[in-house]
Structure 1
Amino acid sequence: MGLTTRYVQIGEGDVLPAKSGGYLIEKFLGQGSFGKVARCVKLSTKERMAVKIVKNDSWFSEKEELMLKKLRNLDQDKNNLVKFLDRFKYGGLVCLAFELLDINLYDFMKQRHFMPLHLCQIRIITQQMHVALNALKSISLVHADIKPDNIMFINHQSQPFKLKLIDFGLAAPVSALCPGTEMQALGYRAPEVILGLPLNEAVDMWALGCVLAFVYLGQHLYPTDTTEIDDTRAFLSLLKQMLHVDPDRRITPSEALEHRFIKMTHLTSKDNPSPNSTPACSKMQEESTTGVKNYKTSSKAVNWNLVSITSSEYSADEETACGSSIPVMLCQNPSGPALLCCNQCSP
C-alpha cells in the first residue's frame, strides 16, 4: 500500500527527505480523504513518528497546517492534544509529522467486541477530553470532527486511558463558521449543523457527548450511515402504529406485514435494486434458518414467561406475591412455584 502522485511513487521502505533529517517509512497505518498516515523513523534521532502525507495541491494541507500552528500556542501535552513536530514537502506532497500514538478509541472498543466501558474508565476519558475542548475554546478553535477514531491512547499498556485528541484537518476558527456549513461525522453531528443554525464551539461538546455514549453503550448513539437512518425511521414508523393508544387505530398483523420496515422497500435503490442484498437482510435470513436464541440477562437463560428455565413452571393465572401489579424480581417460595414479586417481599 503506497502513495503515487504525478511526481513520485513512495512505499514502505522508502525515505522521505527533509531538512531536519529523512523519515524512513516503516508502515502505512491508514488513509483518509486527503492522504495517508505512515509510521516512520526519523533517521537523525531514531524516533518513531506518525507522518501524515497529503497532496500539496489540496486546500486541506494548508488549512490543517494553519490550525496546527495555532495549537502550538498551547501546551499540547497538558491539554491532551496531539503534538505537531515537523512539516516538510517532497515531490508534490506535504508531510506533517506528529508524535506516534497507540490505538484510537474506536479500534480499542472493537478489540473488546464493543463491550461497554466502566463508569470509572469513562470518567477518565471525559475529564481529559473536556480539558482538550477547554483549551480549544481558549483560542476560539472548533475541532469539528470529534469521533472515536480521532481520540487516541498514548500508550495503553504503560499509561492506561491516557488519551489525546488528534486530526485537526477540519478544524476552524469559531469566527469562520457559517450557518449551513457541513461538518462532523454523521451520527456525531450536532442538531444546529443539521438544521443550518448559527454555529460555535458547542458543536464539539455535542460530538463528545456522542463519543461518551458510544463507550458507555458499546454502540453508536445515533445512526452513522444513511441506510441505517432510513431503516431506523421505518422501524419507528411501525413501532408508533403498533403502540397506538387507540386499539381501533392500532395496526393489524396483515397491515404490519405490508409495512415498509418488513418489506424493506425503503432499502431499494438504483445501485441496490434488491433489498435482500443488504447486510441487514442477510442477517435476517441467517437468523430465520438458525433460529433466534433466547435473550439472556446476567448470563442466565430466561424463557418467555419470565421465569428461570431452571425453576418450576409459573402459571400466568397466579397472583404476584404481596399483590403487587409491577413484578420486579423472582421470589423463591419453598412451598410452591417461583413467583414474580416486588421488592417489598420479605426475604
Structure 2
Amino acid sequence: MYVNQIRPIAKQMLVALQRLQSLGITHNDIKPDNVMLVNTEEDTLQVKLIDFGQAHPSSSTTHGKWLQPMGYRAPEVCLGLPFTEAIDMWGLGYMLANLYLNTNLFPVSCEYLMMKAMVEYLGMPSEDQLLFGMHTKRFFCQEADEFGLGWRLLTPEEYSDINRVKAKEWPTWRPHFFSLDDLLYIYEEEDAEEFKDRTEFIDFLKHLLTLDEEKRFSPTEALQHPFIRMSHLSQDPDSSDYLTTAQALMPTEASHSVTPVKDGEAHVAEEADEVPPTPASSQITHIETDVPKVPLSHVNDDNERVQEPCQDLGKELHLPATQSDSGICSFPEQFPNHCDEGLECVSSVNGPMVEDVPFPTPKRFKNIRRFFSRIQKMFFSCCCSSMQE
C-alpha cells in the first residue's frame, strides 16, 4: 500500500488505542485480521478495531506469558519482561510495516529468526532488558570479551541445543536489512512529495518499533507525528496534488475524535452520553452494528486454529474476581508459535466469532452470579447437614 493509504488506517488505529489506554485496557492481538474495513461509498478509508477476545485490564498483566502472534510479539514479551499497553503500539507498527511491504517485516516461521531479524533491524536490547528478562537465555548468552561480560545472540546451533527446537534457515528470498532506513529504498521514487511522505513514514515506524517500551510512542504522541498530521507535505498550491489526494483519503475528524480524559472518565466526541468512571475490573459490552465489514486480510480455511478459551460461561465465572467481573477471557499457559510466512497469519488463540450469540452484558453477569451464589449456598448447606448427621 502507498503510505498515503496507510495514514488513515494508522490514525484511526491510534484513536482506538488511545481510547483503550484511557480505559486501562490492553488489546494484545493487533494484526490485519483484527482490523476491518467499513463498507462505505465514500473515498475515505474507515476501519474498526475488533476481536477483544485477548483483551484484559492493563493492571492485571502477568509477565512471562507468550502473548501476541509470532512476528507481532513485542520484545518485552519475547524476553519475559513486565509489559504495558505499549505492546499494542508495537503490534500497530508491525502491522503498518506489513501493509507497506506486502509481507511480514520479520520471519514468522521461527522465533529464533524473528529475534535475529529484530536484532539486525533495530539493534540489541538494552543491558537491563537482557539482565531481567525471564526468557533472555532462550535467545542470548553472555561471554567475556576485552571489555568484560557482554551479551550476544545465540547461534542457530546453540539455540537448537538449549531450546530443543531446530532453528530454521533464513529464507533465500528474504533480504537482510540493516535498519528500517533500508525500507525507504525498496520502491522506486515516484515524485518528491511521495518520497518525502515515505521518509516520514519510516521515521514514524521507528518510534513505534522501539525496543525500549518506555521510549516507544504512546497513542497521543504518535497522533502528533508529522506523518499523521501531514505537516511535512508541501502547502504550495502549484504542487499540492499529492497533499490533496492524501487529505481526500482521510476520514473526517468528527468520525473518530476522542476528547481528553478528565477525572478518570473517557468521552467520545460524537457520543452524547457520558461514560462513567471505569472500575478496576472493566466491563466491556458488545455493541451490535448493521454496518457490513470486510477484513483487511483473510485467514485461510486450511490454517490450524486453536481452541477458543472461556467458551463455557460457567468456567468464566470461576476466574479471579478481577477478570470474572469484566467477562474477559483468561489466557492459556502458552500460545502457539505457528504462523504462515505470508501476511495472512494464523489467528493467535481465538477462532471465528459466534455472531448469533450476544456478548453477556454486565447485568446478565450479575444475575448469573446471583444464581450460582444461591446454588453454592444450597450446596454448602446440604454438606453441613450431612456432616452433622
**Could you state the TM-score of these two structures normalised by the residue count of structure 1?**
0.34
Which structure carries more helix by proportion? 2
Which structure carries more strand by proportion? 1
Higher-RCO chain (CA-CA 8 Å, sequence separation at least 6): 2
**Could you state the TM-score of these two structures normalised by the residue count of structure 2?**
0.30
Structure with higher Rg: it is 1
